[in-house]
């Protein structure tokens, strides 16, 4: 957290306005294409199977994300709206939670709003808000974790119920997709480390001291360690009732060995595969769609905002310097979150990786940029932050046709946006 200072007024109304604007933009052509595309061809049938007979498909991933997709289909029918309703709601929720997390972490009105603009115009959240795949659920739930943990630090009188929500959301994030598992350990580890440095004599049971006065380490271990695992296990309850190959009681651990094996079994090279250096430099895109659909040529490309993905790198270095030398704990937290989220892909045994694995790291990269712009803003250097934010929005507008499946003039129209050959 930043050092104590006179806080800005809570930008909740502007936060809601930004989120509603993002929701409205995400709803444009939400039903296009009218048939499943990219990995929707796997997850929409899996959601249908859950509704039809409770069958659990795609067993290399946990079941919760497919249940949420099924809920949308059950509510709105087996239509494009039904497939993509849950993602668009959770994408908006993710944006809200990220902005609230930044507000409570920094107590800076400008940092929170700037972060919202950067995330909303950063391409990656927008694209995943409009497609029926699992990543958006994982990101939204983990954003809630960060929001509630940051708020618990600022408002310790609410710490108990906020840590409980954080624990539930942690379990749900892991139950959506495993990419968040390493990050899920950080809140509990951070609580333990900070309480340890507070020098409490009765380390496990003392309720005094940082990070959340009134909460003992033992209680925090329950909220942030035990509860997430219980919630995670409960999300698999439909698997015990599956008509085909139901999960047997006592077979939960063995199930995960099978899931890991399935994750590691995909070794066939893919034209869009990439690895973490490509993601950091924003040099490898994925075309989720590029073909004639619904009467015309359309495209949806996944890539980071070419401006902010690169500006975020020196901002991340600045955050590291601020964190280690000036004890800016909000800046240091962003660096740790980024390092852990991308570091996982440096060591995990997953032979084929893709740019969408950079979803969470990119959020923390933009958080670093928001903090760096805020530092300039607070020093009275206003023109740089305004230029960056307006340029990010302008870049989003320029690329909007190929992140929103807009009609294109001809099959070669995509070249207008392909500044690098590796984006093709």
Number of domains in the chain: 1
pLDDT beyond 80 at 265: no
* Close Cβ partners of 407 (under 8 Å, ≥ 6 residues apart): 296, 297, 298
- What pLDDT, on a 0 to 100 scale, did the predictor assign at position 6? 58
CA 185/CA 170 separation, integer angstroms: 9
The pLDDT tens digits for 315-333 are: 999 999 999 999 999 999 9
* CA–CA gap between residue 79 and residue 76 (Å, rounded): 7
Please tell me the distance from the alpha carbon of residue 68 to that of residue 176, in angstroms, as a whole number.
Answer: 9
59 belongs to a structural domain? yes
DSSP 225: I
For the chain, give the mean pLDDT: 94
With a cut of 70, say whether residue 163 has pLDDT above it.
yes
Two tokens, residue 208: 């005094």
Q: What is the pLDDT of residue 2?
A: 47
In a domain, 7, yes or no: no
pLDDT greater at residue 254 or residue 141: 141
- Predicted confidence (pLDDT) at residue 204 exceeds the cutoff of 90: no
> How far is it, in rounded angstroms, from Cα 74 to Cα 289?
26
* Amino acid 32: pLDDT: 97
- Find the helix or strand (DSSP H, E) in which 25 lies: helix 12-27
CA distances from 5 to 8, 106, 108, 367, 400 (A): 9, 10, 10, 21, 40
Distance from the first to the final alpha carbon of the chain: 42
Q: What's the pLDDT band for 349 if we cut at 50, 70, 90?
A: confident
Predicted local confidence at residue 76, as pLDDT: 97
pLDDT band at 242 (very low <50, low <70, confident <90, very high): confident
Closest CA to 88 of 100, 75, 101: 75
Report the percentage of the chain scoring pLDDT > 90. Answer: 82
The pLDDT value given to residue 271: 85
Where does 177-307 have alpha helices with state H? 181-184, 186-197, 217-221, 227-234, 237-240, 252-264, 276-281
Q: For residues 148 and 103, give the distance between their C-alpha atoms in angstroms, rounded to a whole number.
A: 11
Coil vs helix vs strand at 290? strand
With a CB cutoff of 8 Å and minimum separation 6, the contacts of 119 are 95, 98, 99, 125, 363, 366
Q: What is the pLDDT of residues 30-66, one digit of tens each?
A: 999 999 999 999 999 999 999 998 888 888 899 999 9
* pLDDT confidence of residue 266: 74
Q: Are 419 and 284 in contact (CB under 8 A)?
A: no
- Whether pTM > 0.85 for this model: the answer is yes
Domain holding 403, by residue range, is 12-423
Phi and psi, residue 293, nearest 5°: -140, 150
Q: Is residue 3 part of a domain?
A: no
pLDDT tens digits along 374-389: 999 999 999 999 999 9
Of 190-199, 280-289, 305-314, the poorest mean pLDDT is in: 190-199
Residue 372 lies in a domain: yes
Is the residue at 62 inside a domain? yes
Residue 43: inside a domain, yes or no?
Answer: yes
How does pLDDT run across 179-198, given as a tens digit for each residue? 999 999 999 999 999 988 87
Other CB atoms within 10 Å distance of the CB of residue 339: 14
Predicted local confidence at residue 352, as pLDDT:
87
Three-point CA angle 278, 284, 287, nearest 5°: 150
On the question of pLDDT at 314 being above 70, the answer is yes
pLDDT at 3: 47
Q: Per-residue pLDDT for 4 more than 50?
A: no
242 or 407: which carries more pLDDT confidence?
407
In-domain check, residue 1: no
* Whole-Å CA distances, 371 to 5, 13, 109, 346: 16, 20, 11, 26
| 380 is a domain residue | yes
> Coil, strand or helix: which one is 221?
helix
């Amino acid at each position: 957290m930043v050092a104590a200072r006179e806080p800005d007024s809570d930008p909740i109304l502007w936060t809601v306005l930004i989120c509603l604007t993002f929701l409205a933009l995400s709803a444009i052509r939400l039903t296009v294409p009218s048939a499943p595309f990219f990995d929707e061809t796997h997850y929409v049938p899996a959601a249908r199977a859950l509704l039809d007979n409770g069958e659990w498909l795609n067993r290399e991933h946990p079941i919760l994300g497919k249940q949420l997709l099924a809920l949308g289909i059950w509510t709105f029918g087996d239509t494009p709206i039904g497939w993509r309703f849950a993602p668009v709601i959770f994408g908006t929720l993710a944006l809200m939670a990220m902005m609230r997390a930044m507000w409570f972490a920094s107590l800076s009105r400008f940092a929170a709003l700037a972060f919202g603009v950067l995330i909303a115009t950063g391409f990656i959240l927008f694209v995943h808000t409009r497609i029926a795949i699992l990543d958006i659920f994982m990101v939204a739930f983990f954003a809630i974790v960060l929001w509630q943990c940051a708020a618990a630090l600022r408002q310790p009188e609410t710490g108990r119920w906020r840590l409980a929500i954080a624990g539930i959301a942690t379990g749900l994030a892991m139950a959506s997709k495993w990419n968040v598992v390493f990050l899920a350990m950080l809140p509990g580890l951070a609580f333990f480390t900070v309480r340890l440095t507070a020098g409490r004599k009765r380390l496990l049971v003392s309720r005094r001291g940082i990070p959340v006065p009134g909460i003992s380490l033992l209680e925090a271990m329950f909220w942030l360690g035990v509860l997430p695992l219980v919630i995670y296990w409960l999300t698999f309850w439909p698997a015990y009732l599956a008509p085909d190959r139901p999960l047997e009681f006592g077979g939960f651990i063995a199930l995960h060995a099978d899931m890991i094996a399935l994750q590691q079994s995909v070794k066939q090279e893919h034209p869009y595969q990439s690895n973490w250096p490509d993601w950091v430099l924003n040099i490898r895109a994925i075309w989720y769609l590029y073909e004639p659909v619904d009467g015309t040529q359309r495209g949806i490309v996944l890539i980071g905002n070419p401006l902010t993905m690169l500006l975020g790198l020196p901002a991340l270095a600045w955050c590291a310097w601020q964190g280690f030398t000036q004890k800016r704990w909000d800046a240091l937290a962003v660096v740790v979150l980024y390092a852990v989220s991308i570091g996982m892909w440096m060591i995990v045994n997953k032979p084929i990786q893709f740019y969408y694995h950079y979803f969470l790291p990119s959020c923390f990269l933009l958080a670093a940029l928001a903090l760096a712009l805020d530092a300039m803003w607070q020093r009275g250097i206003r023109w740089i932050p305004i230029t960056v934010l307006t340029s990010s929005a302008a870049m989003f507008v320029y690329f909007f046709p190929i992140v929103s499946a807009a009609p294109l003039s001809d099959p070669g129209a995509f070249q207008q946006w392909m500044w690098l050959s590796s984006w093709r």
